[in-house]
Amino acid sequence: MEHSELEFSAEKQKLKIVPNFSMDKIYFISGDVGPFKAGLPIDVPLWLAISLRQRQKCVIHPPDWLNVATLQEIKESEMAAELFTKLPNEHFREISQLLLTHAKHNMHHADAIRTLVKDIWDIRAAKLRSSIDKFVHVQASHARIDNITRMEINLARPFLLDSLNHLHSLRRSKSL
Amino acid sequence: MDDTLNISGLSDDEEHLTSSQVLQQLEEIWMNERLSPNLMVCRSDITDCILEQIQEMEENISKAQKNELKVSLHQLEVDRIRYMLSSYLRCRLEKIEKYASSLIKEAADGDQSRLSPEEYTFARELTSGVEAHLMSSALRLMPKNLQSLNLQEYAPSLDRYVFLRVNSPEEGVIVDEETDQNNGDKIDFEVGAQHIMRYKPIEHFVESGVVSLL
């Protein structure tokens, strides 16, 4: 999987925007959106929000977890926990990245948020590496990987799956 | 304007699925197809339905005024869906090209759900083309006993590992029936749990939607 494909898949998630125009309901194939009333918040898919933002037609309200206080809490519990904690959104990285790129000016303390998102990502990536090391070491043929997001799996996929496939064929040739 | 772009009437098709539900299914089979080592069962019911909707929408768009905001948003959505659909079909085509012979053999052995009729024709023509080419360019110059060609050996490896998430519970899933050290190792699938394991034992769960590949 490409990272961009995961980003694409994250863009269907809904979030709040405040449009600065009024328009009737739009009947999309993916579902109805609207009606839009200038100044009234409304839920739209992320791809629509970004597109409207690029046309200067709305203000994006970041999801309630994308702020300094909540991210600080997440970071602390992630550091304290031995296993992976459950992130507020399964597209945590993609959504924060997209919003930091396209709606930076609609966020308070965007730079602090960016740093925190990166910190959380790094802590989890370190956990991911050490658990992969453990997993390969004990030669298990199955592992439970709750709460790891698709993006993190995508990061580990190429080398992890290749090495597991090699180990599997080596084990098999030994047992023959 | 409203009426020309209204597609909500499509919700009463045979399966009584709304277009957004079909779209969700498309995304599901797209992700699974991208991540599974083997070619998945062909779902032309979903792709045909989506294609029909895209075409209808494009017709409406071509009739509407180009510079209107609503029209360009509709166009954007159609482009997104088309991207997903092409990526899905391209991914299938890649797998078919790679494993054409073994897929044809499987279809001949009775399991014909994997390839659509069009895909089957493509696979058959490709295989006969490749065989004819190899024969005329190289094999016929070889000694008789080296001329046999076995393209069917290129079968997808079901022993590959995959990541998956459980959608509906299942008990006593056998993880590994082959390796001696884990003889008969069983696990239970809990909803929402994520696992990493070999593809073979869970292939039918992916098709039935019990698990999704990650």
The model's pLDDT over A113-164, given as tens digits with 9 standing for 90+, comes to: 999 999 999 999 999 888 888 888 887 778 888 888 989 888 888 888 888 8
The model's pLDDT over B63-79, given as tens digits with 9 standing for 90+, comes to: 887 778 888 899 999 99
The model's pLDDT over A66-105, given as tens digits with 9 standing for 90+, comes to: 989 999 999 999 988 888 888 888 899 999 999 999 988 8
A3 at B interface, C-beta within 8 A: no
Q: Where are the domains of chain B?
A: 8-132, 157-213
ipTM over 0.90: no
Output the CA–CA distances (angstroms, integers) from residue A167 to A171, B160, B162, B185, in the order listed. Answer: 6, 11, 14, 18
Mean pLDDT within B110-117: 80
The CA distance from B116 to the nearest CA of chain A, in Å, is 24
Could you tell me which CATH number the domain at A8-61 has? 3.40.5.50
Q: How far apart are the first and last CA of chain A?
A: 34
* Alpha carbon distance A173, A176 (integer Å): 5
Containing H/E element for B196? Answer: strand B194-198
* Neighbour-count burial of B122, counting CB atoms closer than 10 A to its CB (0-12 exposed, 13-18 middle, 19+ buried): middle
* Alpha carbon distance A6, A90 (integer Å): 11
Could you tell me which CATH number the domain at B157-213 has? 3.40.5.60
Q: Where are the domains of chain A?
A: 8-61, 64-176
Q: Which of A8, A15, A94 is nearest to A62 (CA)?
A: A15
Does CATH place domain B8-132 in 1.10.1370.40?
no
- DSSP label at B11? G
Task: Tell me which chain B residues have a C-beta less than 8 angstroms from the C-beta of A148.
Answer: 194
Query: Which residue does chain A place closest to B8, by CA atoms?
Result: A27
The length of chain B is 214
User: Do residues B205 and B41 make contact, with C-beta atoms less than 8 angstroms apart?
Assistant: no
Distance of CA B173 to the CA centre of its chain: 24
* Alpha carbon distance B174, B3 (integer Å): 54
- Best residue of A14, A30, A151 to probe chain B, by most B CBs closer than 10 Å: A30
Contact A51 B8 (CB under 8 A): no
Task: Tell me which chain B residues have a C-beta less than 8 angstroms from the C-beta of A152.
Answer: none
User: Do residues B168 and B195 make contact, with C-beta atoms less than 8 angstroms apart?
Assistant: no
pLDDT of residue A14: 92
Residue B124 pLDDT > 70, yes or no?
Answer: yes
A29 at B interface, C-beta within 8 A: yes
Could you tell me which CATH number the domain at A64-176 has? 1.20.58.1020
